[in-house]
């Protein structure tokens, strides 16, 4: 009987710990400590997004790159404090990430209202959702309560962020490491329906795919010729920007999936989605499906990604300045 009682108590303790952990990340986490936190984030987004609609794509990328390294903890925002410190910001995948100043702006406004309450990690997550919705894209639930990490490491960023030149095996391995599946890979790749890329992220497909001055045969030849003659004039070009979804870079729609099926996805990682039967089936489904269905499913994957490795409770900290550990 005593043994049964011990087991029963143990089960209750475990259930209590699970419930406590889940309670730390929840909708309306700041309702009592900073009641207008989410409205403030949304107001700052709405104030700026129509002048800079490309901000939505920039924040999606920042959120994605942040969550894939030590979880969604705002570690991508941290600046180096010495010349030999290699933080995530200086890792090759993050050199063209934009939106840092905007996150700092939102944080400044929130600190005036609720000092030391709202985490930078939550600001990234909320601002990403609100900016996408503001340009007519999907919206989704954002449970809050994330805390900020204290460690930022460039090598970890290089090793964990899926590269634009990744093949399907590399991509699904890196996504799988974060608890994401094939459907998440396809849906989150769908974010390429907005934004731009620098030529350096795909120019090898145009000029030197296998090291002998050749072109990637999986890229539509007419599209490749157009890119070489009008956009990326040489493999050395690392400044020119190219729309990932030509003609609708600020419109969240289904055209990305249609372009992938036409072999006109800009990156090798886009083409990789056609190399796996499950992924290809998903691409075809979204390309021929309804925009509303894509919006719903994209939102689910974004919410799922936003839960990766979150720090809650007493873990981490609430940074006073997003770029500096307290």
Q: Which residues are catalytic?
A: 65
CA distance 233 to 184: 34
Residue 299: both structure tokens together: 């939102």
Per the document, the length of the chain is 326
Cβ within 8 Å of residue 299, ≥6 positions away:
138, 139, 140, 141
CA distance 253 to 206: 26
Pick from 148, 156, 138: which is nearest to 303 by CA?
138
Q: Find tokens 């010729």 and name the residue.
A: 225
Pick from 142, 112, 116, 115: which is nearest to 42 by CA?
142
CA distance 231 to 240: 7
CA distance 79 to 1: 58
Any long-range contacts for 274-278 (C-beta under 8 Å, 24+ apart)?
Answer: 274/218, 275/167, 275/168, 276/168, 276/172, 276/182, 278/182
Which backbone phi and psi does 186 adopt, to 5 degrees? -65, -45
Cite the DSSP H helix spans in 49-191.
Answer: 55-67, 100-113, 120-134, 154-160, 168-176, 182-189
Enumerate the β-bridge partners of residue 324: 321
Query: At CA 68, angle to CA 67 and CA 72, rounded to 5?
Result: 20
Q: Find tokens 């691409």 and name the residue.
A: 283
Element (DSSP H or E) covering residue 16: helix 2-24
């Amino acid at each position: 009987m005593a043994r049964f009682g011990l087991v029963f108590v143990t089960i209750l303790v475990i259930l209590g710990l699970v419930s406590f952990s889940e309670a730390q990340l929840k909708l309306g986490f700041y309702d009592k400590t900073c009641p207008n936190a989410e409205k403030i984030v949304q107001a700052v987004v709405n104030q700026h997004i129509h002048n800079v609609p490309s901000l939505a794509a920039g924040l999606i990328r920042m959120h994605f790159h942040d969550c894939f390294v030590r979880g969604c903890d705002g570690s991508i925002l941290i600046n180096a404090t010495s010349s030999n410190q290699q933080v995530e910001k200086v890792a090759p995948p993050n050199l063209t990430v934009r939106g840092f100043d905007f996150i700092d702006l939102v944080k400044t406004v929130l600190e005036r209202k609720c000092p030391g309450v709202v985490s930078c990690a939550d600001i990234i997550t909320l601002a990403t959702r609100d900016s996408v919705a503001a340009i007519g894209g999907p919206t989704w639930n954002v449970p809050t309560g994330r805390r900020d990490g204290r460690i930022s490491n460039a090598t970890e960023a290089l090793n964990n962020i899926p590269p634009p030149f990744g093949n399907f095996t590399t991509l699904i391995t890196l996504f799988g490491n974060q608890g994401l599946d094939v459907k998440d890979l396809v849906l989150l790749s769908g974010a390429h329906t907005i934004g731009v890329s620098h030529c350096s992220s795909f120019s090898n497909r145009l000029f030197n795919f296998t090291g002998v001055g050749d072109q990637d045969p999986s890229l539509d030849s007419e599209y490749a010729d157009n890119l070489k003659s009008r956009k990326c004039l040489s493999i050395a070009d690392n400044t020119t920007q190219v729309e990932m979804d030509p003609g609708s870079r600020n419109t969240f729609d289904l055209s990305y999936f249609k372009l992938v099926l036409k072999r006109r996805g800009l990156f090798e990682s886009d083409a990789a989605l056609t190399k796996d039967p499950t992924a290809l089936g998903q691409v075809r489904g979204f390309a021929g499906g309804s925009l509303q269905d894509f919006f719903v499913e994209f939102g689910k994957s974004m919410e799922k990604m936003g839960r990766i490795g979150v720090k809650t409770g007493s873990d981490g900290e609430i940074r006073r300045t997003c770029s500096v550990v307290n």
